[in-house]
Structure 1
Amino acid sequence: MADRAPTVPHLFPAEVERLLDRADALCGRRHVKLTALRRQILGLLLEAGAPLGAYDLLQRLQAVQGNAAPPTVYRTLEFLMEFGLIHKIERLSAFVPCTHTLGRAPCHDHDSECVHASQFLICRVCSGVTELEDPAIVAAIKAATKNVSFRPQHLTVEIEGVCARCAAG
């Protein structure tokens, strides 16, 4: 008897699949599922290498499975943000994978001093985004918020400017 073909073709390069497997393991540790749809959308973001808006994601998803609808994409994006797998870049109204969460085990114990903090460098010329996580910036914000008895749990800073590649060109 011949082997059955998989119902979903292998769409992503090996590095993206490795990161998706890491995301799946993170979700498992949090007792949630990285469903096929969530995995597909996260994979599209990882593969893009650039920020994608919800409708860009919808178009890419529809190319793979034609019946995708906007509410499905938005619900999936909310899930991926809630569990720290992606970030929304407000300035661009677009989404990027969290390079830090997928690179190490994140802290999501909101009763501790853990702060999921990222800084995004956004190029005004090419719209490229680089994610940083500078502990000195986090320490400064923690110190400032402690002075007003506020305990941050999530921190996103967006910094606009010109990337090195665009500045050189």
Structure 2
Amino acid sequence: MPDPHDCPGCAAPDLAFAAHDHAHCAHDALNRAEALTAATGARMTPVRRRVLEILLEEHKALGAYDVLSRLAQEGFGNQPPVAYRALEFLVDQGLAHRIQRLNAFTACAHMGEDHAPAFLICRGCHSVAEAAATAARAAVETEAARAGFHVERTTIEALGLCPACQVQA
């Protein structure tokens, strides 16, 4: 199976904000998601697959109601649980991430990998890139351990401007 990370614009945060041919890596990511869910015995239903396809269309985080609107237009239903259940499944399976600051969701750039992402969120165009934050997570865990605290999950979200929006500013 092709590695979705072959598309440098999709996996590398320094290129995620740059124009690139995103179609092939989105297709490969869908194939990877299908394989990962099959390997764990999880079921990729048509609604779940379509929600992931929607998230993979561009490097932006989408709210549940944005996803629901698209699903409703395509005949998948218009009740909020339809979108929320699919998004929850994708997050639980490691195929998507929830961006707390935006109350939105984005496809995971490193499906199937144990990783510590930091989300680079452009306040201008609302694009989101996933950057490695292993060192930052380790630093938080070290400080937490000194306080006797066990970290179960860390989310790092950085707000700023992507290169294109910096030029426009």
Aligned to 1:31: 41
Deviations 1:8-60 (A, max 9, x none): xxxxx554232111011111222211111111101111013311111111111
- Match for 1:106: what amino acid? E
Deviation digits for residues 48-73 of structure 1 (CA, Å, limit 9, x no counterpart): 33111111111111222253421111
Tell me the TM-score normalized by structure 2.
Answer: 0.77
Contact 2:68 2:78 in 1 (8 A): yes
Could you say which residue in structure 2 is the equivalent of 1:71? 81
**1:80 positional shift:** 0.9
Higher relative contact order (CA 8 A, sep 6+): 2
Does the aligned pair in 2 maintain the 1:117–1:154 contact within 8 Å?
no
Aligned to 1:57: 67
Q: Against the structure 1 CA distance between its residues 92 and 25, is the aligned structure 2 distance closer, same or farther, given a 3 Å change threshold?
A: same
Please, which of 102, 106, 111 is the counterpart of residue 113 of structure 2? 106
Instruction: Select the structure of larger CA radius of gyration.
Output: 1
Bigger fraction of residues in helix: 2
Matched, 1:80 2:87: no
Q: Per-residue deviation at 1:148? A: 2.8
Could you tell me which runs of 5 or more consecutive residues in structure 1 were left unpaired when the two chains were aligned.
1-12, 108-115
CA shift, 1:149, in A, is 3.4
Task: Go from structure 1 to structure 2 and tell me whether the alpha carbon gap of 1:29 and 1:146 turns closer, same or farther (over 3 Å shift).
Answer: farther
Query: Aligned pair 1:43/2:53, yes or no?
Result: yes
Residues 3-22 of structure 1: matches in 2 within 5 Å?
Answer: 13-22=23-32
Aligned positions, number = 146
TM-score where L is the length of structure 1: 0.77
1:165 counterpart letter in structure 2: A
Alignment match, 1:151: 150
User: Is the deviation greater in 144-153 or in 77-86?
Assistant: 144-153
Q: CA RMSD in A?
A: 1.8
Give SS of 1:48's match.
coil
Q: 1:68 to 1:154 in 2, by over 3 A?
A: same
Counterpart of 1:152, as a letter, is: V
The separation in 1 between residues aligned to 2:80 and 2:67, in whole angstroms, is 9
